[in-house]
């Protein structure tokens, strides 16, 4: 088997296996951050570091160690519990969209990760191996297209459930996608005008000169707009109207159980990872950082890989922090924010960017 083919297969495993490995960590982090912000005890029973576990021998009476590591097997316990729950299909459900909706919620974010360069290229046995699956000339448009598709798993699930509350949740999801998808497109257009290219690897290379070259400094408004739109597209608080427990019972996933129920939330976490990776790539320099060079060495590639995921983890922490800090908006407030505030700001930012780019 040629070395370049082996390298490509290894990159594919990293791209699609990495987010799957990161999701249990995100579940654990979500619970711990929630416990810290809202002064809850949090999951501190499941694992070797519970109150009656090995923490007495390893950490003694350390409250800090127990708070940080206690309950680290909670994601595994959640998975086992959901795996053995009964899988029920409602009588009025439409079988095809009902069954495939959870899968469709996970696939588009994974496709978006296929064009993201996670690290500097590495040279092995005379062959240069890029750390991305593909580098199309329309990479940014591809990302915008597949990220816009991810909420349609929510739409299929709500419509296919055959119940009024999930249907209302899916209609809300459609409204959010249309409203904030337009604003996300305006933010990306400003980035494309500043970078002068649609190829993602070239956008990362343009930001590799140092922190001062990151596009977040020249396009702060576009970054904030994209960040807010990412929250809305991923149905995260304060934009989780498709769920809306107080008024929709549970929203689009009300009629789901067992692993289908969990796949919706795994898809939400994959979408969070994909959106964070896109923001890091387009606004925060991607894998670049002062002192890290794309010289083909394995050391530099590993360091750039670590830098990229460190930036992604910071944005994921922001996702979780905002969820457990801000209250849920009303639906009319969400629509007003999107159409009457964010889209006009996006248009003004695009016009200002066009003036500066033309003058330059």
Residue 53, in any domain of the structure = no
Query: What is the structure's pLDDT at 42?
Result: 66
Measure the CA–CA gap between 311 and 321, rounded to whole angstroms. Answer: 15
- Does residue 124 sit in helix, strand or coil? strand
Residue 10, in any domain of the structure = no
Length of the chain: 360
Q: Is the per-residue pLDDT at 179 higher than 70?
A: yes
In which residue are the tokens 């019972």 written? 249
Task: State pTM to two decimals.
Answer: 0.88
Q: Which of 41-50, 194-203, 239-248 has the highest mean pLDDT?
A: 194-203
Q: Identify the band that residue 66 occupies on the pLDDT scale cut at 50, 70 and 90.
A: low
Residue 51, in any domain of the structure = no
Domain with 320 in it: 91-359
Pairing verdict, β 122-124 and 127-129: antiparallel
Residue 316, in any domain of the structure = yes
Residue 176, in any domain of the structure = yes
Residue 57, in any domain of the structure = no
Give 55 or 293, the one with higher predicted confidence.
293
Hey, what are 239's tokens? 């934009």
Q: What is the 3-state secondary structure (H, E, C) of 260-323?
A: HHHHHHHHHHHHHHHHHHHHHHHHCCCCCCCCCCCCECHHHHHHHHHHHHHHHHHHHHHHHHHH
Residue 125, in any domain of the structure = yes
Strands (E) in the chain, as ranges, are 122-124, 127-129
Hey, what are 217's tokens? 């400094």
Measure the CA–CA gap between 187 and 147, rounded to whole angstroms. Answer: 14
Torsion of CA 198, 199, 203, 206, to 10 degrees: -110
- Total domains in the fold of the chain: 1
Residue 116, in any domain of the structure = yes
């Amino acid at each position: 088997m040629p070395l370049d083919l082996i390298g490509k297969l290894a990159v594919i495993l990293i791209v699609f296996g990495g987010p799957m490995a990161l999701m249990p960590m995100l579940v654990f982090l979500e619970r711990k951050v929630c416990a810290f912000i809202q002064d809850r005890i949090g999951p501190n029973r499941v694992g070797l570091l519970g109150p009656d576990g090995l923490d007495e021998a390893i950490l003694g009476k350390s409250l800090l160690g127990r708070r940080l590591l206690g309950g680290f097997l909670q994601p595994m316990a959640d998975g086992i519990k959901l795996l053995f729950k009964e899988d029920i299909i409602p009588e009025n459900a439409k079988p095809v969209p009902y069954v495939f909706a959870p899968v469709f919620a996970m696939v588009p974010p994974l496709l978006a990760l296929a064009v993201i360069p996670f690290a500097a290229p590495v040279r092995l046995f005379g062959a240069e191996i890029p750390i991305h699956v593909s580098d199309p000339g329309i990479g940014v448009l591809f990302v915008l297209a597949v990220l816009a598709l991810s909420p349609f798993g929510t739409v299929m699930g709500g419509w296919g459930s055959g119940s009024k509350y999930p249907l209302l949740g899916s209609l809300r999801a459609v409204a959010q996608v249309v409203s904030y998808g337009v604003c996300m497109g305006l933010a990306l257009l400003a980035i494309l005008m500043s970078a002068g290219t649609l190829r993602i690897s070239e956008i990362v290379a343009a930001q590799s000169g140092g922190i001062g070259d990151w596009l977040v400094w020249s396009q702060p408004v576009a970054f904030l707009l994209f960040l807010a739109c990412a929250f809305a597209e991923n149905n995260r608080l304060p934009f989780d109207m498709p769920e809306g427990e107080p008024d929709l019972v549970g929203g689009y996933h009300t009629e789901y159980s067992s692993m289908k129920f969990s796949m919706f939330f795994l898809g939400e976490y994959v979408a969070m990872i994909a959106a964070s990776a896109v923001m890091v790539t387009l606004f925060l320099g991607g894998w670049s950082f002062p002192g890290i060079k794309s010289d083909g060495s394995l050391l530099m590639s590993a360091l750039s890989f670590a830098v990229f995921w460190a930036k992604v983890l910071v944005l994921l922490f922001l996702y979780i922090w905002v969820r457990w800090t801000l209250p849920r908006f009303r639906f009319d407030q969400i629509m007003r924010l999107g159409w009457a505030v964010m889209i006009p700001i996006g248009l003004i930012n695009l016009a200002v960017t066009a003036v500066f780019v033309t003058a330059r």
